[in-house]
Structure 1
Amino acid sequence: MMDLQRILIPVTLYISSMAVMFYIFFFVILSSTKLTAEEVAMRFSKHNVAVNACVSYGDVKSWKFLRSKILEIQGDKCLCCGKKEVSMHIDHIKPKSRYPHLEFMIDNLQVLCPSCNKKKSYTQETDYRRSNHLISLVREVKENKLLQRRYVYSMDVLEQLAEKRFTLEMKRKDYPQTLPIS
């Protein structure tokens, strides 16, 4: 009988303490964290407002750096029409809405004037860069340790793209205004 009491008392205490913990967890903690539909909608709308309000290019310092490098490599004239505007746009070749992981990739950016950028928006992905821009880009990525540290590049893909573009330019004297990306 004594052995049975030694076992029953701790088991009873254990079970009753577990019951108290479950009660506290389910009826006190969980009930206090339940949200009504209005609260969920309010929290979700706050999140959307915050996301839409943030700078779309991440932090301003990174964007300014990338912008200056693109203007240095590609020049300050529109790659589509050749115009030079006061404020040139830096365009994402593959749209950041569909390819958010490419937003800060220097090889996804090109210089366009505001009107060409507006015409290009919501149409096909168009790359206006010439082979010399791509070759300069490959050189810049190889030499610039900051770019190598902050962004991951496939040098083979960049070099193949530059070579493909250069070959097309050499074959055709009447170089097409646009080239397909792939």
Structure 2
Amino acid sequence: MPAKRKSIEISSKQQAIEWIATEGGGVPSRVEAHFRKRGWRITASCFRQWWRDREKILAEHGARRRIVGGGRRPLLGVVEDALIDLVYEKRIRKEKVSRSWIASTAIQLFQASRMEEEQEEDPIRFIVSDSWVRNFMARNNLTLRKRTNLTTLTNDALVDHVVAFMKFL
């Protein structure tokens, strides 16, 4: 059975990078033997990867375990940018933006962005699920707001609402 992956703190990675830069002479393959003597069980390929990403690692806080922005890139970057622009425009015009509208618009934008030749060469199966819409909204800090329509109520209706609420309490 293969060994379980062990995450390493950024501070340890920074320590290894500093050793490579000073005592290792800028050669990451020399660091493995040095840190193996100290009890680290890390392969040379990890040290080489850290050396390639040294600017990001040195800029990070030491208690973290991963660098920021290291995850998977969105599959539909341009489409998502266009969709978020449409959502903002619709909200500026005070029109309703629903989850179903976001889903249907995302499908339309995706189909419009792919030419027929691209579709045949590299078919991407894109299904807008509830979780995709939820994650899209979370990535872009969107929330579905409830409409508050108190300003259009007459004074009598507003007083009735307040009295009903006070009775409720």
More strand by share: 1
Whether these two folds match at TM > 0.5 is no
Larger radius of gyration: 1
- For this structure pair, what is the TM-score category when the shorter chain's length is used for normalisation? under 0.3
- Give the TM-score normalised by structure 1: 0.26
